């Protein structure tokens, strides 16, 4: 199978080293402006994938992200932010990266080249048909991710993907593919740039929409957030003040009593 890796095609710009700081920043920004429009074109695909995620989470399943390099790190970031933001268990959304935790901070050579390791990593998490797996790879050619999704398909585990190359092996493997075609990068082949931004946007959309659908947001507030620092405690106090129309002192007392913004609000309305 042949396809064009648009993420690897030559940049629209040349002689970057001759550009001023201002020119570099302006041109990078011009390219970044196109990303949200590329994501917009993929909304129907994102909707189908998100609906399946919601279905699985509602039924007691888990959401797995699996990727390598920048893509894997983006999945881990999104997964790690769900518990503090929405108060869900740490094992509800799980991010896996080729090379393990070491690869979060430092590249692990050839980790992404194993077609079997992704599935082995999923098996360590006791993956089952109740769960859903989203493979993340800008190129759409990462063996670690493709191999994992192929095995999931064989085991009737729902699969989706986020990639930036139409017709890629990953897009053709996932049952529910999301393809965001961002085109050439400012620095040729540097898919941490536009492709990475597109992947981050899609991840935000999937997880946030799923959490809203699961009732983890009230109005537009993160009422289930973990009160893990003073900033979040202050935010919780303001939420209670606004919702219950009480003073700051009363809101602080309620938050101290109930240890939860949601409980403070629901038990006093």
Catalytically active residues are: 81, 112
Residue 263, exposed/middle/buried by CB under 10 A (0-12, 13-18, 19+)?
middle
Alpha-carbon span 87 to 64, nearest angstrom: 18
DSSP run (H or E) holding 255: helix 248-258
For helices 230-244 and 248-258, give the axis angle rounded to 10 degrees: 110
Cα–Cα separations (whole angstroms), residue 118 to 62, 76, 123, 182, 238: 17, 15, 9, 26, 44
Cβ atoms < 10 Å from Cβ of 104: 15
Query: Cα–Cα–Cα angle for 158, 164, 170, nearest 5°?
Result: 40
Q: How many helices (H) and strands (E) does the chain have?
A: 12, 5
């Amino acid at each position: 199978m042949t396809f064009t890796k648009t993420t690897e095609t030559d940049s629209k710009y040349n002689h970057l080293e001759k550009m001023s700081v201002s020119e570099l920043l302006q041109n990078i920004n011009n390219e970044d402006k196109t990303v949200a429009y590329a994501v917009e074109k993929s909304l129907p695909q994102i909707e189908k994938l998100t609906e399946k995620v919601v279905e699985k989470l509602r039924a007691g399943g888990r959401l797995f992200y699996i990727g390598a390099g920048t893509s894997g790190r983006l999945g881990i970031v999104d997964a790690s932010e769900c518990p503090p933001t929405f108060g869900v268990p740490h094992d509800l959304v799980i991010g896996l990266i080729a090379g393990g935790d070491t690869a979060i901070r430092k590249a692990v050579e050839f980790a992404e080249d194993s077609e079997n390791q992704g599935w082995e990593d999923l098996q360590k998490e006791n993956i089952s048909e109740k769960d859903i797996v989203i493979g993340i790879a800008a190129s759409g050619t990462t063996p670690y991710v493709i191999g994992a999704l192929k095995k999931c398909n064989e085991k009737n585990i729902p699969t989706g993907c986020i990639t930036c190359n139409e017709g890629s092996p990953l897009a053709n493997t996932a049952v529910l593919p999301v393809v965001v075609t961002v085109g050439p990068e400012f620095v040729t082949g540097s898919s941490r740039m536009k492709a990475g931004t597109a992947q981050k946007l899609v991840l935000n959309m999937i997880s946030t929409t799923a959490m809203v659908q699961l009732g983890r947001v009230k109005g537009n507030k993160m009422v289930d957030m973990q009160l893990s620092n003073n900033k979040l405690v202050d935010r919780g106090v303001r939420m209670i003040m606004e919702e219950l129309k009480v003073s700051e002192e009363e809101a602080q007392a309620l938050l101290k009593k109930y240890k939860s913004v949601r409980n403070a609000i629901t038990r006093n309305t």
